[in-house]
Structures are given as C-alpha cells and as structure tokens.
Amino acid sequence: MKKFYEFFAGGGMARAGLGSKWRCLFANDADEKKIESYQENWPYGPEPKHENVANLSIEDLPGQADLAWASFPCQDLSQAGNGLGLNGERSGAFWSFWRLMQDLKNAGRAPQIIALENVCGTISSHGGKDFGAIAKAFARAGYRFGAVVIDAKKFVPQSRPRLFFIATNKSQIPRRLTANEPDPQWHTTQLQGAVAKLGRTTRASWVWWRLPTPPARKETFSDLIQSRPTRTIWHSAAETRRLMAMMTSVNRAKVIQAKESRERKVGSIYRRRRPDENGKKHQRAEVRFDDVAGCLRTPVGGSSLQTILVVKGKQSLRSRLLSPREAARLMGLDDNYILPKNNYDAYFLLGDGLVVDVVRFLSKNLLYPLLGTRRPRARQKSGVL
C-alpha cells in the first residue's frame, strides 16, 4: 500500500479519489469547518491537523510518504482574484508547503511524487512568472515535472478546468508515461506558451506527461438532479419571472428553444454583473442547456450560487438553487459522503474542492505507474471508503 500526505485537504476529496489502495499518513487544513467534514468522512485516521501549513514542521509529518498532494489556495491566482499571485497571503501558502518539501529532502524523506492542483489562472498569473517560479522550484529540487490541464466535464457533468503539476524524483520514468511533444487534449495552447517561456535549465527538467483518452462520460447534468430536492425549495412563480427578466435576449432565446423541444430540459444559471452599451453594469442571469453545470464556486466574495432552471414543455418553468447534494454529485462524491449540516458550509466545502474522478484518473494512469505499482483493478467509489 502506497502512502501519502494530503495538504490543504478540505473534505478529503483527494483521498476519496486515491482510494483504499493508498494510506493517508497526514492531512491538514486551516479551516475548522473543513476539518470537521474530513473527520466525519474519514473517522479511522489519521486525525486531520487543524493548522495553517506555515506553522507545520516535518516533525508533524509521520513516516515517509510516496506522494505529497497539495491543492493550495487559489484566491490570489484566479481571474476573479486580486492579482497578487504567489505573493498573496493565501496562494502564497505554496511557499510554506514548499519549505516543508525542502526540509523533507534535507532529512532524506523526500516524497517520490509531488502533485499540485490549482486554477488555470496559475498559468498566466503575473505574466507567467508564478508558473515559472513553481517550475523552477521543482527543477532546483531535482524533480522531473510536467503539468496537465484537465476539465472535469470529461468525467462529471461540470465544467471545471484545473491545472495539475505532477513531479517525480525517480531517475527512471517509464517511457509509456511521457511524450516527445504536447497533446492538445491535456496541454492547452496557454500551457504550451508558459512552458516555452521557462529558462533553459528549468525547461530541461520538463516532461510532457502522456495520458489516455478517457471513455465518454455517460451522466448528464439532469441525471444528477434530485427529483425531490433536499435542503432547498423551489422558487415562487414570481421569483422565476424575476430571474427571466434578468436575462438578455440571447439567454431568453435559449429558454424558448428549450420549451419548444417539448422535452424535459435542465439548465444551470449563474448571476453575473455585465456592462450594457453605456458601460453601466447590471446583474444578468446567464443560462446554459448543454447538460453540463457551470463551475461550482464558493459563496464568498460576491459570487452567486448556481441556480437550476427546469423546463417541461411550453408551460412548465421552475427554478431553485442547486442543492448541496447535487453539488456533491457534481464533484464526484457519492451519496454516502457526509455533508456539513449548514448549507453555506456545504457550498463552501464543495466549491473549493477537487473532483474525485479526476484524482482517480490521475492516480490510475500516472501516479501508480510512476511508483512502479500495478494499476488498481477495480474502480473505487467516491466518498467514504
């Protein structure tokens, strides 16, 4: 059984994706509510540490892990953030995590693999300098590394592109795991451009990871919608009309088209502030009916919660907030996963989390092979294992 540390662990979604063939040695998070969720869903240990990563030392990390997983805070790196990047108080937590990795190396306990996850804004933050700083840190520590961009909609009906750095200190990498050139399926034009800007020494440590094409996703957004919603209620007819009034003609046309199909259609809506022809901003309701939900967000900083719009023929039109359980399903968590009792806490936990199926895909096709371990035969379920 392979061992791992889970930093910035949230509710343990990386752990859920890695599955029962991995043993967690250590988990931490600075958020007390997330720690409570972690404890509820992983009661058999280890007890997660409620502590900021900056206050940790390698004495807090038991044993030697094969993998260190870190989904460090994204707020300063996201397009909606403050633009501070790795200099920001929250996303700058990467450097505290990296200090631990360096200390482990100096103590002869370096993990064979380090996996980082964050928003795709990491690629362009500070004109690519933050991406370059992470890459240089890996190269200087003697790691071979690469990155992939994976949109969760390949696995679950949620549009959620994320950047994953995977680094290994193994001297021999199986040839089947690398390619001579980027694959547009996993290496976007933006990512390729950022790699091209890396210095020669850093670039020499770069690897284009090879991943297989996943099977076509079978579930649609409407498949995950509860027939009897829990912890949320349907809007009144007047509230739904107000929502429609917030739509532009383009978005109202989408609703009309859904009605004319005479089929049951489930759309997802976000409210966003958009400028009119005079530059004045108004709150707009933007809907999509492509059977994929918009990217889940945390309900902070003015972000709206996702609303669903259910259309049945020309007459029936209903709306309500996406329920916490539906949001959990969009993150790849099964219905055994215990959600916080408070809706705000549940939306925050899920909007800030990892899609379980993406972690499982990386574990099966990259992490296990890098460690020289046979791939797990059976697919592990998400949630409590």
167, 114 contact by CB (below 8 A): yes
97, 72 contact by CB (below 8 A): yes
pLDDT at position 328: 98
Query: What are the residue ranges of CATH 3.40.50.150 in the chain?
Result: 2-215+354-370
Which of 143-157, 255-269, 294-308 has the largest mean confidence?
143-157
Looking at the DSSP bridge assignments, the partners of residue 67 are: 4, 113
In the predicted model, is pLDDT for residue 304 greater than 80? no
27-31, 186-190, 276-280: which range is least confident on average? 276-280
pLDDT at position 88: 57
Supply 114's token pair: 């380090």
At 172, is the pLDDT very low, low, confident or very high (cuts 50, 70, 90)?
A: confident
pLDDT at position 91: 63
> What percent of the chain has pLDDT above 90?
79
Give me the mean pLDDT over the 166-171 stretch: 92
In the predicted model, is pLDDT for residue 189 greater than 50? yes
pLDDT at position 170: 85
pLDDT at position 273: 85
At 375, is the pLDDT very low, low, confident or very high (cuts 50, 70, 90)?
A: very low
In the predicted model, is pLDDT for residue 218 greater than 90? yes
Comparing CA positions, the residue from 31, 19, 28 lying closest to residue 351 is 31
Assign 3-class secondary structure to the chain. CEEEEEECCCCCHHHHHHCCCEEEEEEEECCHHHHHHHHHHCCCCCCCEECCHHHCCHHHCCCCCCEEEECCCCCCCCCCCCCCHHHCCCCCHHHHHHHHHHHHHHCCCCCCEEEEEEECHHHHHHHHHHHHHHHHHHHHCCCEEEEEEEEHHHCCCECCEEEEEEEECCCCCCHHHEECCCCCCCCCHHHHHHHHCCCHHHHCCECEECCCCCCCCCCCHHHHCCCCCCCCCECCHHHHHHHHHCCCHHHHHHHHHHHHCCCEEEEEEEEEEEECCCCCEEEEEEEECCCCECCCCCCCCCCCCCEEEEEECCCEEEEEECCHHHHHHHCCCCCCCCCCCCHHHHHHHHHCCCCHHHHHHHHHHHHHHHCCCCCCCCCCCCCCC
pLDDT at position 79: 55
Give me the mean pLDDT over the 309-328 stretch: 93
pLDDT at position 382: 43
pLDDT at position 383: 43
pLDDT at position 251: 96
Q: What is the pLDDT of residues 78-111, one digit of tens each?
A: 555 545 666 655 566 888 999 999 999 999 999 9
* Class of domain 2-215+354-370 (CATH, top level): alpha beta
Residue tagged 């739509």 (tokens): 247
What residue type is 32 in one-letter code? E
Q: What is the pLDDT of residues 104-131, one digit of tens each?
A: 999 999 999 999 999 999 999 888 888 9
- pLDDT top residue among 85 and 210: 210
pLDDT at position 301: 60
pLDDT at position 176: 96
Mean pLDDT of the chain: 91
Q: What is the pLDDT of residues 277-303, one digit of tens each?
A: 888 888 899 999 999 999 999 887 656
Q: Strand 67-70 vs strand 2-7: parallel, antiparallel, or unpaired?
A: parallel
